[in-house]
Amino acid sequence: MTTTTASQVIHEPRFMDGDEFHIATFALLQQDGTLFEGAQAPELDRETARRIYHTMVLIRVLDERMLAAQRQGRLSFYMQCTGEEAAVIGSAAALDDDDMIMAQYREQGALAYRGFGIDEFMNQLFGNAEDYGKGRQMPIHYGSAKLHYMTISSPLATQIPQAAGYAYGQKLDGQGRCTITYFGEGAASEGDFHAALNMAAVHRAPVIFFCRNNGYAISTPSVEQFAADGVAPRAFGYKMHVIRVDGNDVLAVYAATREARRIAVEHNQPVLIEAMTYRLAAHSSSDDPSGYRSKKEEALWREKDPVNRMRLWMLAQEWWSDDEEKTLQEQLRREVLETMKRAEKRPPPPLASLVEDVYAEVPARLQEQLDALEAHVRRHPEAYPKSAPGLDQGGA
Amino acid sequence: MPTMNLLQAINNALDIAMESDPRVLCFGEDVGGFGGVFRATSHLQEKYGRERCFNTPLVEQGIIGFANGLAAQGHKPVAEIQFADYIFPAFDQIVNESAKFRYRSGSLFEVGGLTIRAPYGGGISGGLYHSQSPEAYFAHTPGLKIVVPRNPHQAKGLLLAAIRDPDPVLFFEPKRLYRASTGEVPEADYQLPLGEAEVIKEGSDVTLLAWGAQVEVTEKAAELAEKEGISCEVIDLRSILPWDVETVAQSVLKTGRLVISHEAPLTGGFAGEIAATIAERCFLYLESPIQRVTGLDTPFPLTLEKEYLPNHLKIVEAIKASIDF
């Protein structure tokens, strides 16, 4: 029988609170776009850098436009990624495109980086008939099988142990793939976080736990979320590799995630990354942060804008120009607007889709319920403007 | 045909499932080298290795979360929860995740490979937390299938079907019968259909419906009633979700009377759902109110377990009340 505890024996009571561990923050890029003295940029080619930056700009434009659409009542709900683009997109870029991503909800940038089209975003946001999820989930609950991006669900942290299991399956398959799971520092307080890290460490799953520590879980500041020095020190309790990184520094995030992926895939060991960042926008379209934090604090972080930081670095590399910036901004604004208008007009999913996918096949009792509902809608078409027209055309 | 007890039949089913499909894994607390606290997974680790049969840390939500991920990835996890009483920490993973995985993604992703095994039920002096029958909590959750076998033959065939079913299945094993119930079980690989009840004894005066360990109790009640000249039709529901409305309704249309029995408490128990549905379907054919013989609306007690449980005598009284109405 082996034990994991080989402990020195002492003869006086000595209590420890972990204060002797201080986890430094890994940072490479300064806000003016230059590297810290002695820092070295990761190997990042021009094409990948441009793909990352392009995705950042797209997400900014999309978030801005869709929040406005929500304010206009065209959309029921929205959540922005503003301020966290470097953390999300920089880490996604460090993976292979067929590694699995299991996200929380503020990681649309990772999906966009993989190539999810504006049209695909819009179909989900409007829950129309083209939405892969058949209009069943709230906006921003994206998913894509072809891009290896697991469909988002609202219950916080549930995806974290799932990611451990998914990664364990990848290990058994032996294809050299891994899973990254994103979650906020608030979600890390859920029991599923503990369950996941412990399971992954014991069973050596190639999974990267990526925590976006953005300072707030809705209105709750992180000082009311945990007493310790952030989320990172918890890794020690699971004997897990851990790194804290400046989440607004795309180069540091990219370098850290690349190395985390190497550890996960080559050694079948999980890694925890804590990206320190700030949720610049409201929690969601249903939230107003002015009730719980100061404009001054927000302004301080706006100066640390991760997108601007990368732009300045790209300009210095001569991988980007002000002209290209202007063209891209205009082009994306136009494209987002036009795509939104098209998506809004698409029909809703058909009534029969209500009962599909509950099970692999529709059970008899559920089919009876659908039949009754269809008959009812036919009797009251005026009360069901979304589904009644489809029924008329569909016949039956 | 070899004789097996319920545990051996389950172990045999797991062995066949792992042998026939390399994607099948068995894990849970003490499931690995030890073979489970009831020995349901005996020798599986020896045979299939530590990667496919292993102990997990003691964390039910982790076991099911991990299993959900594995199933989504394409494997077929058979996760064990040591006692059904301890499934509640995983309630969120089961109800919000497993059950809704396919629906919420429009079938982009699913966890159909998932099977959750858990010993359930009383009669073993298990007190509050080694006796519960939680099937009704899950029966309120679209997307899940729930199966309860009554004997070794059923257990093997239904478990193999559950593991291979394209939807997540909760498989509740009557632990009172683990060693008490023995019978002939084919050595071969076979499956019994999910979602179908089984008429195990035909009769004409009253329909008796139960599942799991309660079927044996109900059969005993039927024998006693028959001695008094009451012809009982006995049905094993087998699948709680989706349940076989047709077979039960056909029987009640014939007998005009229905007695349902389960160990779980009365209020919100699955007999309520059955009674309401059969009342709708068979209203004009019913000759007496549908009777429910169940546990009391209390936590499951230790010392007065015998009084608490819906035994054969209580069922016989319900049968007579139904006949004499």
Which ipTM value was assigned to this complex? 0.97
Is residue B140 within 8 angstroms of chain A, CB to CB? no
Kind of pairing between the strands at B232-236 and B206-210: parallel
The secondary structure of B16-74 as a DSSP string is: HHHHH-TTEEEEETT-STT--TT-TTTTHHHHH-TTTEEE--S-HHHHHHHHHHHHHHT
Distances (CA, A) of B136 to A362, B107, B147: 21, 26, 12
Is residue B70 within 8 angstroms of chain A, CB to CB? yes
- How far is Cα B190 from Cα B160, in angstroms, rounded to an integer? 7
Q: What is the mean pLDDT of chain B?
A: 98
The pLDDT of residue A6 is 78
- How far is Cα A252 from Cα A247, in angstroms, rounded to an integer? 8
Rg (CA), chain B: 19
Contacts of B180 (CB under 8 A, 6+ apart): B5, B6
Residue B183, SS3 per DSSP:
strand
- How far is Cα B295 from Cα B267, in angstroms, rounded to an integer? 9
Rg (CA), chain A: 23
Distances (CA, A) of A382 to A42, A147, A163, B46: 61, 40, 45, 65
Q: Note whether B65 contacts A164, CB cutoff 8 Å.
A: yes
Q: Give pLDDT tens digits for A113-161.
A: 999 999 999 999 999 999 999 999 999 999 999 999 999 999 999 999 9
Is residue B34 within 8 angstroms of chain A, CB to CB? no
Tokens at residue A66, please? Answer: 């869709």
- Cβ proximity of B105 and A151 under 8 Å: yes
Nearest Cα residue to A114 out of A87, A78, A88, A140: A88
B140 is catalytic: no
Q: In what order do the strands lie in the sheet with A207-213?
A: A25-26, A241-246, A271-276, A207-213, A179-184, A100-102
User: What is the dotted CATH code of the domain comprising B3-184?
Assistant: 3.40.50.970
Percentage of residues in chain A with pLDDT exceeding 90? 94
CA-based nearest distance A191→chain B, Å: 8
CA-based nearest distance B3→chain A, Å: 35
Largest interatomic CA distance in chain A: 84
Same fold, B3-184 and B198-324: yes
The pLDDT of residue A208 is 98
Which is catalytic among the residues B130, B153, B262, B312?
B130
pLDDT at B309 > cutoff 70: yes
B130 is catalytic: yes
A277: left (phi over 0), alpha (psi -120 to 50) or beta: beta
- Cβ proximity of B212 and B172 under 8 Å: yes
- How far is Cα A228 from Cα A230, in angstroms, rounded to an integer? 6
Is residue B229 within 8 angstroms of chain A, CB to CB? no
- How far is Cα A254 from Cα A27, in angstroms, rounded to an integer? 11
The pLDDT of residue A22 is 86
Which residue(s) pair with B147 in the sheet? B171, B239
Is residue A237 within 8 angstroms of chain B, CB to CB? no
Nearest Cα residue to A140 out of A123, A163, A156: A123
Give buried/exposed letters for B200-211 (b at 16+ CB in 10 A, else e): bbebebbbbbbb
Tokens at residue A388, please? Answer: 């009644």
**Partner-chain residue, chosen from A134, A198, A363, that has the shortest CB–CB distance to B62:** A198
- How far is Cα A132 from Cα A119, in angstroms, rounded to an integer? 12
- Cβ proximity of B199 and B234 under 8 Å: yes
Q: pLDDT confidence of A4, banded at 50, 70, 90?
A: low
Contacts of A247 (CB under 8 A, 6+ apart): A84, A86, A87, A212, A213, A214, A253, A275, A276, A277, A306
Residues of B in contact with A187 (CB under 8 A): none
- How far is Cα B16 from Cα A377, in angstroms, rounded to an integer? 49
**Partner-chain residue, chosen from B66, B96, B106, that has the shortest CB–CB distance to A155:** B96
Contacts of B97 (CB under 8 A, 6+ apart): A153, A155, A158, A162, B64, B65, B68, B111
Going B120 to B125 to B128 to B129, the CA torsion angle's sign is negative
Give buried/exposed letters for B32-66 (b at 16+ CB in 10 A, else e): beebbebbbbbebbeebeeebbbbbeebbbbbbbb
Q: Give pLDDT tens digits for A339-396.
A: 999 999 999 999 999 999 999 999 999 999 999 999 999 999 999 999 999 887 544 4
Q: pLDDT confidence of A1, banded at 50, 70, 90?
A: low
The pLDDT of residue A148 is 98
Nearest Cα residue to B147 out of B156, B159, B136: B159
- Cβ proximity of A150 and B109 under 8 Å: yes
- Cβ proximity of B274 and B243 under 8 Å: yes
Cα A25 → chain centroid? 21
Cα B34 → chain centroid? 25
This prediction's pTM: 0.97
Helix (H) or strand (E) holding B236: strand B232-236
Cα B238 → chain centroid? 7
pLDDT at B210 > cutoff 60: yes
The Cβ of residue B149 has, within 10 Å, a number of other Cβ atoms equal to 30
Tokens at residue A173, please? Answer: 């398959």
Residues of B in contact with A195 (CB under 8 A): 57, 59, 61-62, 65-66
pLDDT at A258 > cutoff 90: yes
Locus of tokens 């499956």: B191
The pLDDT of residue A395 is 46
Terminal C-alpha separation, chain B: 46
Residue, of A5 and A295, whose pLDDT is higher: A295
- Cβ proximity of B9 and B2 under 8 Å: no
The secondary structure of A113-125 as a DSSP string is: HHT--HHHHHHHH
Terminal C-alpha separation, chain A: 68
Residue A208, SS3 per DSSP:
strand
- Cβ proximity of A158 and B92 under 8 Å: yes
- How far is Cα A213 from Cα A194, in angstroms, rounded to an integer? 16
Tokens at residue B59, please? Answer: 């964390």
- How far is Cα A113 from Cα A87, in angstroms, rounded to an integer? 12
Q: Give pLDDT tens digits for A26-84.
A: 999 999 999 999 999 999 999 999 999 999 999 999 999 999 999 999 999 999 999 99
Q: Note whether A360 contacts B112, CB cutoff 8 Å.
A: yes
* Residue contacts between A and B (CB atoms, under 8 Å): 152
- How far is Cα A97 from Cα B321, in angstroms, rounded to an integer? 68
Burial (CB count within 10 angstroms: exposed 0-12, middle 13-18, buried 19+), residue A59: buried
Residue A149 is classified by DSSP as B
Best of B31, B105, B107, B239 to mutate (most A CBs within 10 Å, chain A)? B105
Domain range B198-324, CATH class: alpha beta
CA-based nearest distance A301→chain B, Å: 35
* Contact map slice: A 142-171 vs B, CB within 8 A: 143-145, 150-151, 153, 155, 158, 160-170
Tokens at residue A384, please? Answer: 């069901």
- Give the CB-side neighbour count of residue B44, counting CA atoms within 13 A: 33
The pLDDT of residue A394 is 47
Cα A24 → chain centroid? 24
The pLDDT of residue A18 is 84
Distances (CA, A) of B318 to B211, B263, B314: 17, 15, 6
Q: How big is chain A, counted in residues?
A: 396
Phi, psi of B199 (to 5 degrees): -80, 110
B20: left (phi over 0), alpha (psi -120 to 50) or beta: alpha
Helix (H) or strand (E) holding A278: none
Q: pLDDT confidence of A20, banded at 50, 70, 90?
A: confident
